[in-house]
Structure 1
Amino acid sequence: MDTKTEKLSLKRQVGLKGAVSLIGGTMIGSGIFMSPQTVLHTIGSPGASLLVWASCGLLVIMASFCYAELGTVIRESGGEYIYILRTSGPVVAFMLIFSSVLFVRPAGVAGISLSFAQYVVAPFYPDCAPPVALVKCVAAVAIVTLATVNCLNVRFAMSVQVFFMVAKVLALAVIIVGGLVMLARGNTENFQDSFVNTNLGVNSIGIAFYQGLWSYDGWNNLNYVTEELKRPEVSNRPRGP
């Protein structure tokens, strides 16, 4: 009798465009549009705020390099869960996934969805704050809709991801170009004595870094779908003969 058992395998349908959009689309989320004001208010000065953003970006880049190496060595989906499982054993991995599934991920999704809902309903309430119940309902509908899209088809989910990434990049481009235009017109008063009133307290710096890193969150999402990537061990860019 044939006693071989077939191993469940995922279809490799995510290419370079889908992989880039998965990282970019999740990193460019509600946080980048809401965190800057909190970082500036907490740290107290524009100069220190820019240093916080640069430091957070450097930390994320270094961590991304580590994850890129791990993703090519351990070609299994699951992200940090599979890495901890292979290095520290099932007990520590179970503790990680237990806390992540029940607390960390739901809290993050709820925060992002509520932020999205605030922006969606704000134009309909120009003179007052929108009803809390309406914001929560819109956030719930967004979560259910995206969950359904991801369950239906990988390629369709990647197409949706690409569309929203392009939309968010265009929104950021409008903000960046607008800022450059203001600088070109001589509105540089915020860069004069830019470190005045900087809050050097541990709490202020910690909260500012937390908000900055939250805005960069999503850089590790590609490693959760390693088994769905087309040839994750090599670059997808065109190669010569």
Structure 2
Amino acid sequence: TSRSHQNENKREKPGRGDTQRFNLKREVGIIGAVSFIAGTMIGSGIFISPQYVLSAIGSPGASFVIWTCCGILSMLGGLCYAELGTVIPESGAEYIYMLRTAGKVVAFMFVFSFIIVMRPASATGIALSIAEYVVAPFYNGCTPPQLVVKLVAAGAIIVLAIVNCLSVRLATAIQVVSMAIKLLALTVIILGGVVMLFKGHTENFENSFEETNVNVSSIGIAFYQCLWSYDGWNTLNCLTEELKHPHVRVYVYYS
């Protein structure tokens, strides 16, 4: 009726005392949402961490147990974030959840440490891993200079920052392409392992729990390296406001 139309017009045209809220463009679809999580999780860690997990825990059998436990923990975390993402459909992930529950002080302390320490350290580790792989073909048979590795890592961080600032669509497209390449690489590695198993190379599974390191420090390091590989399951909630139909995208992926 006329009264309801008047109320709608009031909402669309805020008065002087009202504040107009700026919204992010919803340009991320289902493929982009999947690529943001899968592409982030399938990163440098999965290609580097397995050797450190095995060396820390000491045996292939215990290594598989660690990987299984970390996978279950990551799955439970993803399911919790699916619920949080649909209940609080705002970008920011941990920051916005702490702001809504624990208050401004706790949220500020988290986001301050996240921006100053946590995220730069994580980005630096990933960038250095990328740089090691990039410069390795140019220094065959010898260790590449650390200065070159650091310069390439810094260049990678700058390029990715520029891409994310320029366009969400461009960043999503690059994420989808990189996810496809990483899935292809993992498929080749997995198929190679299956072929070796069928050829009878099963010596690593004989007495697979021998020489297992059961001390707390070894188990902790193995869990740390393994969880580093699984890291990224919370990425989608950082851009909930940029998702098309966030209740559908978040729930469908995590389910």
Q: Tell me the TM-score normalised to structure 1 length.
A: 0.97
Deviation by residue 1:103-136 (Cα, 9 ceiling, x = unmatched)? 0000000000000100111111111000000000
Whether 1:220 aligns to 2:212 is no
1:10 to 18, 24, 28: 24
Instruction: Compute the displacement of 1:88 (Å).
Output: 0.4
Counterpart mapping for 1:8-47 below 5 A = 8-47=22-61
SS across alignment from 1:113: helix
Aligned to 1:152: 166
Q: Please tell me the residue identity of whatever aligns with 1:10.
A: L
In structure 2, stretches of 5+ residues that fail to align are 1-14
Whether the 8 Å CA contact 1:84–1:93 is kept in 2: the answer is yes
CA distance in 2, matches of 1:114, 1:70: 33
Q: Please tell me the residue identity of whatever aligns with 1:102.
A: I
Instruction: Compute the displacement of 1:234 (Å).
Output: 2.2
CA distance in 2, matches of 1:55, 1:2: 56
Aligned length: 238
Q: Please tell me the residue identity of whatever aligns with 2:53.
A: V
Deviation by residue 1:53-73 (Cα, 9 ceiling, x = unmatched)? 010000000010000000000
Whether 1:139 aligns to 2:153 is yes
CA distance in 1, matches of 2:127, 2:251: 34
| Regions of 4+ moved over 3 Å | 235-238
SS across alignment from 1:20: helix
SS across alignment from 1:4: coil
Aligned to 2:201: 187
Aligned to 2:86: 72
Whether 1:126 aligns to 2:140 is yes
Instruction: Compute the displacement of 1:237 (Å).
Output: 10
Aligned residues with identical type, % of pairs: 62
Instruction: Compute the displacement of 1:3 (Å).
Output: 2.4
Whether the 8 Å CA contact 1:15–1:236 is kept in 2: the answer is no
Whether 1:85 aligns to 2:119 is no
Whether 1:203 aligns to 2:210 is no
CA distance in 2, matches of 1:166, 1:83: 31
Question: Please, which moves more after superposition, 197-206 or 123-132?
Answer: 123-132
CA distance in 1, matches of 2:251, 2:244: 12
SS across alignment from 1:234: helix
SS across alignment from 2:248: coil
Whether the 8 Å CA contact 2:86–2:250 is kept in 1: the answer is no
Aligned to 1:50: 64
Aligned to 1:167: 181
Q: Tell me the TM-score normalised to structure 2 length.
A: 0.91
Instruction: Compute the displacement of 1:4 (Å).
Output: 2.1
Instruction: Compute the displacement of 1:235 (Å).
Output: 4.6
SS across alignment from 2:141: coil
Aligned to 2:244: 230
CA distance in 1, matches of 2:113, 2:16: 40
Q: Please tell me the residue identity of whatever aligns with 2:28.
A: V
Aligned to 2:131: 117
